Structure 1
Amino acid sequence: MSWLESPFVEIDVKDVYNKDEKLKKEDVDTLKDWLKKTPHLPPVTELQIVLFLHSCYYNIELSKRTIDVYFTTRTLSQDIFGSRTIRDPALSTALKCGLSVVLPELTPKGEAVIMCKLMHPDSALYDSAGQFKMFDVCTHLYLHKRGPAEAVQMVMDMDQSTFGHLLKVTPSVVRRTLYYLQEGMPIRLKCIHIINVVPFLDKALALIKPFMKKELYDSIKIHSDIRTLYEYVPKDMLPSDYGGSCESASTLHGKLIDLISNTDDFHRFQESQLIDKSKRPKLEDFEQSLFGASGSFKKLEVD
């Protein structure tokens, strides 16, 4: 059964232990003890600890840093990470403007594939913070229902993207989301594929490059022909409108909307997991690092 099918039932953490022989209960317990001694962090479930530990390749010290970055970034960026139910105007609008869904099947290497695209070329309602909120909500539903994947590949379809969308992207949102994606989100992001390339792709890449680690930026693969994508993502696991055997992207998107609509308790719990800013060491330094860029990307020159 596809992970997108209702009802939403969180995976039993025991099943994650059984599937992953590298995951050690004693390492999880070490992180539990550390969390008890770290007063600015909120209560964290055992499954969440497991997801962080897996994403950090079982490195305890790196997991500690990732957990702190995750919760601190989410607390300081409520425009992106707060109000996660379907009734949130930013999320509901994002779901009308774009699509972000983890495909039902894994690659032969056990990797998850996240498909992202805009639904139409009108940029009037587009909001970059709302689009990333949709991505984050979808990915967390997947992680908590299916557990961690070996790695994650992203497929960015630019078919309906216009220069008007790019002009509405703010460097502040790009900076915060990319920092979170690389330093806090409990996934192993392996590579980013770009398909249906647009003429202004060079300008889009110029916007994100300053905020990406070299290894992630170098992982970006640009496909002028979708058939080259099949070398990384098997054709059969893609939606039918990309030549695959899966349901269409719009059908998957509809199922995701239904799932989000029926998981209020899950989203509210995540909304409640905020740090105590009064107890977080060096909070001002973190804020300055996180919010170092401001304004919108209005200085692009049209060729």
Structure 2
Amino acid sequence: MAPNPDSGMITTPPTLEELIRRNPELSRTDLEYLQDWMSKQPHLPKLTDEELVPFLHSNYYSLEKAKRTIENYFTIRTHAPNMFQNRDPLDPEVKKQLALNSISTLSKRDSHGYKILAAAWSNPDPTDMDFEVLMRSYIMTIDQEIRDDPTCPGYVFLLNTTGTSMGHVTKASVSAIKIYLTFVQEAAPVRIKGIHVTHCTPLMETIMRIVKPFLHGELMSLLHLHAGEMEDFYKEYPKDILPQEFGGSLGFLKAMHTDTMKKLVANRSWFLEQDKLLVDETKRPGKAKSAGEVFGLEGSFKKLDID
């Protein structure tokens, strides 16, 4: 068998002992409580203690909030398969979307110790964009980070919108946008510390009209739009920690993206195993849930109607 050229990118998540040592708030007692709770939820998949850690940590070790996030995470993934399942980094559709957009966690953190995940168009032509598969690809990148660093103190997301056009906007459906934002706000086991959208044009006003109804107050307070002068942005995020696509000196995001893709491929077996962790609605206590009930969606999934 030929050697895997990306074998050096295979990552090993930290052990439970390492995580407890690093995080005084993380206790075996809380993990035992969650395992006992999950044993009484026959519809949920079985998780290891290590897999429970991100849910506890992202909720600042609140057991009730962790339980709610676990329930939301697996229910949403189950009922929106095109966005959250079939996460094979070698799948042609996933590869196509990842070729359109560069995304990577930067090598340097911000002054608070938060990881920075940056994204920018590699190819701004919207012809081949599939919003749901593109979001699936984004979430794969984030999940890889969560696996490797489940107690990261926080994440900052940077999005360069250069090249974004109405063609991109019309490729998304209102329902898909709502599902994605529901996941981000109610199910993603990460501490979001900031979202910065740079190089904004007047088109961003249209986009904000679409997404604003689905944003909770907390996420709205973390969202910052930057157009024209960006000196305030550079005060918070110096150029030496940013890629060149954001006016920085760290190197090109496109090159970092290549390494990110190699890591996803090297850890392919993990993603394929994760695809099996779904809700079994036939075993849910009480009434089984449908996608319409989970997301509050009525009728067919229509494309955006932009005036």
Q: Post-superposition shift, 1:214?
A: 1.5
Instruction: State the distance in 1 between where 2:117 and 2:69 align.
Output: 21
Q: Post-superposition shift, 1:283?
A: 3.3
Q: Post-superposition shift, 1:120?
A: 2.1
Counterpart amino acid of 1:124?
T
Instruction: State the distance in 2 between where 1:190 and 1:176 align.
Output: 21
Question: Percent same amino acid at aligned positions?
Answer: 25
Instruction: State the distance in 1 between where 2:118 and 2:72 align.
Output: 25
Residue 256, structure 1, aligned to residue 295, structure 2 = no
Q: Which residue of 2 aligns with 1:288?
A: 293
Q: Which residue of 2 aligns with 1:49?
A: 52
Q: Which residue of 2 aligns with 1:233?
A: 237
Which of 107, 111, 122 matches 2:125?
122
Instruction: State the distance in 2 between where 1:23 and 1:203 align.
Output: 43
Counterpart amino acid of 2:237?
V
Residue 208, structure 1, aligned to residue 211, structure 2 = yes
Aligned-residue RMSD, C-alpha: 1.8
Cα distance change on mapping 1:46 and 1:234 into 2, 3 Å: farther
Q: Post-superposition shift, 1:72?
A: 0.7
Question: Helix, strand or coil: the match of 2:195?
Answer: strand
Which of 270, 278, 283 matches 2:282?
278
Q: Post-superposition shift, 1:11?
A: 2.1
1:223-264 Cα deviation digits (max 9, x unpaired): 123332223333322113434343310111000111111112
Q: Post-superposition shift, 1:147?
A: 2.8
Counterpart amino acid of 1:279?
K
Question: Helix, strand or coil: the match of 1:42?
Answer: coil
Counterpart amino acid of 1:47?
E
Q: Post-superposition shift, 1:69?
A: 0.4
Count of aligned positions: 297
Cα distance change on mapping 1:286 and 1:299 into 2, 3 Å: closer
Instruction: State the distance in 1 between where 2:303 and 2:205 align.
Output: 14
Larger displacement relative to structure 2 (18-27 or 219-228): 219-228
Q: Post-superposition shift, 1:146?
A: 2.5
Instruction: State the distance in 2 between where 1:286 and 1:120 align.
Output: 33
1:19-73 Cα deviation digits (max 9, x unpaired): 1112222111111111112111001122221100000110001100100100011
Instruction: State the distance in 1 between where 2:238 and 2:18 align.
Output: 27
Q: TM-score, normalised by structure 1?
A: 0.92
Structure 2 residue runs without a partner (length 5+): 1-7
Instruction: State the distance in 2 between where 1:164 and 1:283 align.
Output: 38
Cα distance change on mapping 1:12 and 1:106 into 2, 3 Å: farther
Cα distance change on mapping 1:283 and 1:100 into 2, 3 Å: farther
Q: Which residue of 2 aligns with 1:300?
A: 306
Which of 218, 223, 228 matches 1:220?
223
Q: Which residue of 2 aligns with 1:72?
A: 75
Which of 159, 164, 168 matches 2:167?
164
Q: TM-score, normalised by structure 2?
A: 0.91
Q: Which residue of 2 aligns with 1:92?
A: 95
Instruction: State the distance in 2 between where 1:211 and 1:66 align.
Output: 18
Instruction: State the distance in 2 between where 1:10 and 1:297 align.
Output: 40
Q: Which residue of 2 aligns with 1:265?
A: 269
Larger displacement relative to structure 2 (280-289 or 199-208): 280-289
Q: Is the 8 A contact 1:101 1:115 kept in 2?
A: yes
Question: Helix, strand or coil: the match of 2:156?
Answer: strand
Write out the 4+ residue segments of structure 1 that deviate beyond 4 Å after TM superposition: none
Q: Which residue of 1 aligns with 2:107?
A: 104
Larger displacement relative to structure 2 (141-150 or 286-295): 286-295
Q: Post-superposition shift, 1:179?
A: 0.6
